[in-house]
Amino acid sequence: MADRLYLSYWIRGYSGQTMLRHFEKLLRKFPFSPNSPAPVELRIYVQQFAEPPLIERVFDRLTEDVDDVIAASREFENADSGYIVEGYWDLWRYDPEWKLTPAPVSLACYGPLFENNLGDHLRIEFGNDADFLPQPETPGSSRKVESNIRGLLRLVHELDDTLPAENRRLWSESGENFADRLAEALSEHPRAGS
């Protein structure tokens, strides 16, 4: 059963005054798809996600508009706000053949006073973890999924080099450690779908 896959960061010295600076670093490092089927959307919430967004703004291409996204966020900069950017990044997906296609992704920055069940400061939701796990029933899965995993690990290493992280966690919606799930799947199907 597919789970949602997340990457969470806890940042040293994180505060209401530094949060958007760290969010900007995350946005600048993230490999947004140049072939995105839709524009990037910024939503800002106050205190919790149960409330409707305070604002919603659309940007054509985030690779060019990070300054505009951060400027719009600064208009509503507050320690009890949550900032979500929804866009796309490229992944190999099978339907009914393997294609490198834009896949939805969500990047979040949580103010220190925003209601957040984990208490993490920055979070990326990558979509279904199935895009990063061997699919033995799918032809050619091994190479394509390996490429997706390499892209994910490259991003994690770049963010580790950019962000002053106290801690980070790659996890799935069920709460499982994704690295453990991946190791288990690879041991069960070492040459899955080759």
Could you report the per-residue pLDDT of 58-99, keeping only the tens digit for each? 987 655 678 999 999 999 999 999 999 999 999 999 988 999
Q: How far apart are CA 155 and CA 168, in angstroms?
A: 13
Residue 194: pLDDT over 70:
no
- Per residue in 135-173, pLDDT (tens digit) is 888 888 889 999 999 999 999 999 999 999 999 999 988
- Per residue in 12-51, pLDDT (tens digit) is 999 999 999 999 999 999 999 988 878 889 999 999 988 8
148 with 92: CB under 8 angstroms? yes
What is the model's pLDDT at position 175?
A: 78
Q: How far apart are CA 134 and CA 109, in angstroms?
A: 30
What is the model's pLDDT at position 178?
A: 80
Provide φ and ψ at 78, rounded to 5°: -160, 145
Query: In the structure, what pLDDT confidence band is assigned to residue 193 with cuts at 50, 70 and 90?
Result: very low
DSSP state string for 5-66: EEEEEEETT--TTTHHHHHHHHHHHS---TT-SS-EEEEEEES-TTSPPSEEEEES-HHHHH
CB atoms within 10 A of CB 149: 16
Q: How far apart are CA 140 and CA 45, in angstroms?
A: 42
Tokens linked to 73: 């966020």
CB atoms within 10 A of CB 110: 25
What is the model's pLDDT at position 47?
A: 93
